[in-house]
Each structure stands twice: as structure tokens, then as C-alpha cells.
Structure 1
Amino acid sequence: MTLIKSISGIRGTIGGKQGDNLTPIDTVMYASAYGTWVKQQREKDEYRVVVGRDARISGEMIQQLVMNTLVGMGIHVVDLGLSTTPTVEMAVMMEHADGGIILTASHNPKQWNALKLLNKDGEFLNAEAGQQILDIAAAQNTSFAEVDDLGKVTRHDAYIDLHIAEILNLPLVKTDAIKKARFKVVVDGVNSTGGIAVPLLLEALDVEPVKLYCDPTGHFPHNPEPLKEHLGDLMKAVVDEHADFGIVVDPDVDRLAFVDEKGEMFGEEYTLVAVADYVLQQTPGNTVSNMSSSRALRDVTEKHNGSYQASAVGEVNVVQKMKDTDAVIGGEGNGGIIYPELHYGRDSLVGIALFLSHLAEEKIAVSELRKRYPSYFMAKKKIELTPGLDVDGILKKMEETYPNEQLTTIDGVKIDFENNWVHLRKSNTEPIIRIYTEAPTQKEADELGERFKKELQELASK
């Protein structure tokens, strides 16, 4: 059982002992720390926080604990109930709220849950704010409201509809072309809130949804991370239903992957590539992804005469780099689309709408669209860390070993060779060094990963 306290939020497994897992006591402690932080940001008479959750079995319990803790601090709560991460982010902005909390452990299995924390702009907290909340929790000196000053909970069930309405109003979402195309799409909602939101979006666009695992029970029918090895049922259903393609999202709907009309994976890394290609055709500009994402985004960006930049891993880092470079589209290679014309957060719903627009405008099959993009293959390996190992020193030595190559050191060490790259970084959540590689063939990517795994082990033994 596990409790992980980090600057990006609090996540853990349900049950077990306080301090070791995400127990009710831990939930209250970190919710109250967040409430204290919210009050510290600005002096005002009333505070309001938006709270929503994915469909995890523990979600209702955790949400009640979080909301009533905030109420006890005199903070008003806007309760979205079952929702999506991007919908909560949108609601914070539309409510002019002081922050938001999303109760989801993203792609983690059902025994996990988490408090994902937002600022008043509906964006994830930066490292400084995250550390402040951890410090407040550690101090355990939260002040609660007197009886006449308790907060109130207001239920608001319309925000998924409002979120979809905002998407349909975007100039680059070609609603008429999509409706004319009469697409048929299989949706794997992994029995979470994607099973609510994605079909609603498709129906608004006159796309026929074939629902697969769209009952939001929280009993995930397969590993909820949207990877090929977990999606056999979706791949089969697309072919059996003679659908135009398939869609899968993770439990909180911020990661998006496609299956083509032949039942083959479009490639999670290529979700962002395809959407960026469409956006850049319409609105030329710059792009951003994190350092562990495919080089294909850089290639597509340069094809449209834009500039590509890589950020450190983590959505908050991608968002900051997008703001710094006025990027028109960005995200992460795990299927996360960030379209700032709507909001600065990974959003599968806007990604779906832009992808449908791309297909409708081009009048092209999904498999043919995939052939337009350069093919790269990734390998992901890791090295277990032993106590006392100087990881930063090892990565510094690796940097010194390749002085003539293109190096990026904002997040570990990334070495860009002419035809491939390797990214070496210490994990934020596990005692390991991650080794990501990308090359023109899977064999080359695997071999590059093994080569650098050996080089790291040799440096560690010296």
C-alpha cells in the first residue's frame, strides 16, 4: 500500500494505515492544507472551490471528505459530481473560483485515488505552490470556521455540457463538415467518466458512438492506461462494427488514443502529432511537448515553418513553456492535448473534436492519415536505484561523455543524435532511472536503450 506526497498532488491506495495510504484522515489533512493555501493567496470575504471526480469506487467517499473539509473551513464548494479533469479545469475558470480539486488517480488501477490540485486559473499548481501545501500539511495548524461561517455545497451537473458547448464554438472545430461526414466511432470509456462525456460530444457532432465499457461504475474492464496491450477489445470492436475508428481515454479523460479503421493502433504518441498538424495548417505557430515525447512533433512543426520547444516532463512544465513561446498547440506524447484557445490543460474532448475536424476536412481514412507522419519507435527501460547512489553525479558524468552532441539538461539528460535520441531521468515517483529512447525502427530503439542502460550501470559501479 502506498501514499505518495508530491508537489503535483497527493495520491495513494485506499485502505490501510494512516500516513502509509490515502486514508480518510490523510484525505482530510491534505484537503485542509489546500484550503489553507487557497485562503493565503488573496484576502476576500468568500472563497469558492470546484470539486469533481472520476468514477473510481472510492470516489464518492473521498469527495465527501474533501468537500466537507472545505465546508468546515468556511469555503463554498461547487460540486460537479462525476466529471472529467478538463471539465473541472474549465469550471474553475467559468465559475471565477479560487481553485479546484479533481479526485482521480488518472491511469492508475482502481485501488488508487488522488487529489489533483488546481489554482484559480484552472491549471495545475507549480512546484512552489505544491511545496507550500506539503509544508502546511506537515505543520498541521489548519484553522476551521465557526458555526455561522461554514461553507455551503452547491451541486452543478451541467458543466460537461458547458464544456462541450465551448468546444463546439471553437473556430477550428468544423461542426458542419463533421456532421456531413457521418462518422461511426467505437468509444472505450474504461467504465469511467469518459463513458459519459465522449458519447455526449460525439452525439452533438452527429457522430454515431458505439459504446464499449461506458458504464461509469469504476470497475475498470482492463488496465486503464491506454496502451496497445490493453486494448484488444476495442481493436476488435472497431473491425466488427465497421467503424471509422476507435477512441479510448483514461479514467479522468486527459489522455487520448485512437485505433484506425483496420483495428490497428494509431499510436499514442501520434495523437498530439496529428492534432498539431491540423492546428498548424489552420493557425501557423509554435509547439511544445515534453522531452520524452516523439520527435515527430518537431518534424511536423518545422514542416509548417513553426518552432518546436521541449519542456521538462510534467503538464505544468509543458504549460509554462507554451506560455513562454506563445505555442498554438502542445501537450505530452502520452496522448495529452493542450489547446490554449480553449484552456491550458490536457483535454481529450477538444482533442477528439480537432481530430474529427482534420478527418472531415481531409476526407481521409485514419490509416491513411497515419502514413503521412514520420515513423519513429520508442523503447522505455529503467534501472533500479540502490541506496546512497549519486544519481545526479552519474547523469553529470553521462553529460560529460557526449560533449559534441546536442544536450538538454533541464530534466535529467537528453542526448539528441542525428537519427535518434535518449532521455535519462530520475523518476519522481519510483527509486529508478528512466531510460527513454526513440529511433526509426523498434530494433534500433531497443538497442539504444540497452546500450545506455549498460553505460549507466558502468558509471554507477565506478
Structure 2
Amino acid sequence: MNEPIISVSGLRGVVGGSLAPDVAMRYVAAFSAVAPAGAIVVARDSRPSGRMLASAVHATLCALGRPALDAGVAPTPTVGVLVRRLGAAGGIQISASHNPPEYNGLKLFGPQGRLLTAAEGEQVLAQYRHSGPAWVPYDRLGGWQEIEDPLGPHLDAVLSVVDAGLIRSRHFHVVLDANHGAGGALGRRLLEALGCRVTLLGEAADGQFEHPPEPTAENLAGVGAAVASAAADVGFCLDPDADRLAVIDEAGRYVGEEYTLALCVAHVLADRRGPVVTNCSSSRMTADLAQRFGVPLVRSAVGEANVVSAMVQCGAVFGGEGNGGPIDPRVGLVRDSFVGMAHILAAMARRGLPVSRLVEELPRYEIVKTKMTLQRHRVPAALDALEAHFSGARADRLDGLRLDWPDRWLLVRPSNTEPIVRAVAEAKTRHQAQELCDQAAQVIAALG
């Protein structure tokens, strides 16, 4: 049997293939072995395999003597809020995020309500690979308790960071595409609490996705048409575990995930000045906004855990990733689509502008993403060759190689799971961004 894809913050694989119950149980046992004493919050997204894996997770925790707090079907950011609110030792979210239905996975949270740091994740990996479970006798088995209203604390936290009264006064009509994921219930509660008229697509949390679950332009064409035909003010689209948000404007046009973070940052910095954190593959829009408002922009390595670590270190007022994952530390240290919806509605309400006009006010760039086959042992030579070829750029080796010019940038970094490197370029035009990716491919190909 193939091993699942394992990183420091969790694992994912094909159910019945690389991800079987025994694999999940070993991984949970490894997590429990390094986590502090106390209860573990357990939740899942809506995939049909989630119930089976939740049973395996609960059985494992019980057999290890760990108490478990069950949140049922809940968004990933909700788990972070619950861990902190309930004083739990950690959390386990059963989700494969935007991957197809045959996948599932486990995301691990520490007691701070955030995904495990790289160092914590390495401890879990070492335990998983080199040690077995420490089962307890019958008289020390762990208990199990269902959390009453698991969505309530998250709802309250999001409402507390926006002017809910102002948003209510606008009576926005919102199309919310939950796509039968975990975000429909909280999405409806949040939008109705903000006085919105809600048209909810794919509300039942049954994992029967009506379109491919990654919230890209191609996958959301039907949602855009629904927004336009309903004459709605805005469309919000969630991935299955609701930690990513894509936006559709009032004309049914896909705004995209890169703009989610920028729209939120522009709104938040108008009120609260302080450092902002993004990862090194996110759009330059956020850096331009930080400069406009006179605050520091900190770039982290790719990955939510790295963004959060940088946010904690610099005391950021906001952060996130360009894949539609805003993070407001007042709510939680997790990418959060509900934070994104609330801040975008607050910006629309305060400015009296449709989302299309808010987007027009943002700096405009085009991003191109490509990948190239390259064995891992050849990556250092490839990065050296790229740095030499683009000698006029400012080079940064924080995560792979990032090359910066005043009006464009290129990031080339190796995959952690495949023998490839990914290239991401951003420039004023798509042609310029594509040209950077093409040049990078030519330099790497010339190495033979």
C-alpha cells in the first residue's frame, strides 16, 4: 500500500488506498504521544468517508486514554476557535481540503488553536515512523463528549470584529456556494446575523460536490451565472472545509482567491495599523497596500503554519495566503473564509461601493503558475543557475528562490511530495509573467 502524503501539519490520501483506518490510527496515536495532556477536539468536513475516519480517530483516542470533544461536521477554522475556547490540548480536523472526493486527510492543531508548527509536526512524524501506540488498559480508557453548538463561538468571534449593525443596514443579497461542504451551516448563520438575504447553493453537508471542490474560475462558472441571474450583491464560494474563500462580483464575474486577502487587508488597515504577513507566493497586491498604509509587510515561507508563526512573531494585525485564506488573529490563527466574508461585506457597507469597485481600487497584477519535472537532488544547482541568469533581480532563499524586480517577481520552489519544481510569476501583464516562467523553464532544461 502506498504511503499517504504527509507534511508537518497533517496527512492526506485516497481512502481505501494510501489512507486506510490503520494509517489514521497510527497518525493520531503519534499526535497524542507528543501533545500535552488534555482533551482533543475532533471535527470533519462533509466527505462521506469522514464519518468512518472520525470513528477511527475517536476509537484511537479512547484506547490511548484521551478524552475527545466531538464537533461533528464543522469548518477547519471552527476547530481552531474551539480548541482555544475549550482549553483543549489540540484538535484534529478530518478533511482533504480542496482535493477530489476520493481523498481525505487529517489536519493537526496545537493548544493555541493553530496548525502545528514545523518543529511540532516533525515530532509527530518521528513518532509516526519510529514508535507504536501506547494503548491503555480498560480502566483508563478515554471518554467522549459532544460539543453543544460547536459553531456558536466561531460565529460570535467573527461578528465581534466587524460593524455588524452597519452591514445589517445595507440588507445585502448574498449568494453563498457551500458546494455541499462543511461551511453551509455557519455561512448561513453568519450572513443572516449580518442582515443579508441568503441564496445558499449546496447547503446540505453531504459531500456530494456539485462542481470540483477547488474554488477556481473554471469550477465556479455556474455560480457566477447564479449570482448574475439573482441580481445579488456578491457571491462567496467556499472549499469543502471552508478555510478558503473565492469572490464573485455583482455581475457574476470571478474575482478570484488572490483578491480575497487584498480586499480584507485594504479594509482592516483603514482602521488598524500594524504588520501584515503573507507567504512568498502570494500576490504583490498586499505588499502595495502595506506600503500605501505605511505598515510593515512580512513574507513567510509557503504554508499556513509558516504564515501564522510569522504573524505571532511580529504581532501582525492581519495575514493570510493568496489562495483565499485570510487570517484575523482576533478570531483565530487559522485561514478563515467567514472572516473574509465579514470583512468584505463590511468594506462594501462602509464605502457604499459594490465589490467590483473595491476590486478596481486595488493594485492590478497577473499571476502565472507552472511546474517542471526536476529530481530533488538537482534543485540546488537549478536555483543557483536561475539566480545567475536573473542577476539583476534581488534574490531571496527563504523558500526555494524568489527573484524580485520593482514591477514583477518569480518564485521557484521544489515540491515536498513530487519530483517537480513549481514556478510562480507575477507581473503587470500576463505575457510578462508567462515570459518569466518560460525563461525559468529554459534555464532548468539547459542543465541537462
Q: Would you say same fold, with TM above 0.5?
A: yes
TM-score, length basis structure 1: 0.94
Instruction: Give the root-mean-square deviation of aligned CA atoms.
Output: 1.3
Out of 257, 265, 269, the position equivalent to 2:258 is 269
* Mapped pair 1:412 → 2:368: no
Match of 1:347 in 2: 336
Q: How big is each residue's C-alpha offset from its partner over 1:160-192, in whole Å with a ceiling of 9 and x where there is no partner?
A: 12210122122xx01111100000010110111
2:164 equivalent in structure 1:
175
Query: Which deviates more, 153-162 or 64-73?
Result: 153-162
Distance in 2 between residues matched to 1:196 and 1:371, nearest whole Å: 31
Where does 1:323-362 land on structure 2 (aligned, <5 Å)? 323-362=312-351
Q: Match for residue 51 of structure 1? A: 42
Q: Where do residues 47-446 of structure 1 align in structure 2 (5 Å cutoff)?
A: 47-170=38-161, 173-386=162-375, 389-446=377-434
Q: Does residue 1:23 correspond to 2:20, yes or no?
A: yes
In structure 2, the residue matched to 1:32 is 29
CA distance in 2, matches of 1:142, 1:194: 33
Per-residue deviation, residues 93-121 of structure 1 (Å, max 9, x unmatched) = 01101000000010101111111001111
Question: Per-residue CA shift, 1:187-224, capped at 9, x if unaligned?
Answer: 11011111222111101111111011121111111111
Q: Deviations over 1:401-451 (max 9, x none)?
A: 444421111100000112111000001222210010001111221122112
1:389 Cα deviation after fit: 4.5
Distance in 1 between the 2:274 and 2:423 partners?
A: 31
Q: Give, as a single letter, the amino acid of the residue that structure 2 aligns with 1:52.
A: A
- Return the letter of the residue paired with 1:364: L
The answer to whether the 8 Å contact 1:247/1:257 transfers is: yes
Q: CA offset at residue 139 of structure 1?
A: 2.2
Q: Secondary structure at the match of 2:232?
A: coil
Name the SS for the 1:258 alignment partner: strand
Work out the CA distance in 2 between the residues paired with 1:417 and 1:452.
15
Kept after mapping to 2: 8 A contact 1:420/1:438: yes
Measured in 1, the distance between the counterparts of 2:105 and 2:380 equals 29
Looking at structure 2, the residues matched to 143 and 448 of structure 1 have their Cα atoms a distance apart, in angstroms, of: 52
Instruction: Flag the 1:2–1:56 CA change in 2: closer, same or farther, 3 A.
Output: farther
Q: Which is further off, 390-399 or 107-116? A: 390-399
- 2:348 & 2:119 partners in 1: Cα distance? 41
Three-state SS of the structure 2 residue aligned to 1:282 is coil
Alpha-carbon contact 1:187-1:212 (below 8 Å) kept: yes
**Identical counterparts, % of pairs:** 37
Distance 1:430 1:241 in 2: 43
For these two proteins, the number of residue pairs brought into alignment is 447
Provide the secondary structure at the position in 2 that maps to 1:60: helix
Q: Is the 8 A contact 2:173 2:234 kept in 1?
A: yes
Local SS of the residue matching 2:218? helix
Deviations 1:196-253, CA, capped at 9 Å, x for gaps: 2211110111111101112111111111111101001110000110100100011111
SS at match of 1:378: strand
- Following the alignment from structure 2 to structure 1, what is the Cα–Cα distance between the partners of residues 381 and 217? 36
Look up the match of 1:14.
15
Q: Is the 8 A contact 1:53 1:84 kept in 2?
A: yes
Letter in 1 for 2:429: T
Q: Distance between the aligned counterparts of 2:305 and 2:414, measured in 1? A: 18
Which structure 2 segments of 5+ residues have no match? none
In structure 1, runs of 5+ residues without a counterpart are none
Q: Is the 8 A contact 1:29 1:140 kept in 2?
A: no
**2: CA distance between counterparts of 1:224 and 1:107?**
5
Aligned partners of 1:229, 1:398: CA distance in 2, in Å? 32
In structure 2, give the amino acid aligned to 1:267: G
CA distance in 2, matches of 1:315, 1:395: 24
Opposite residue 270 of structure 1, the aligned amino acid is Y
SS in 2 for 1:288: strand
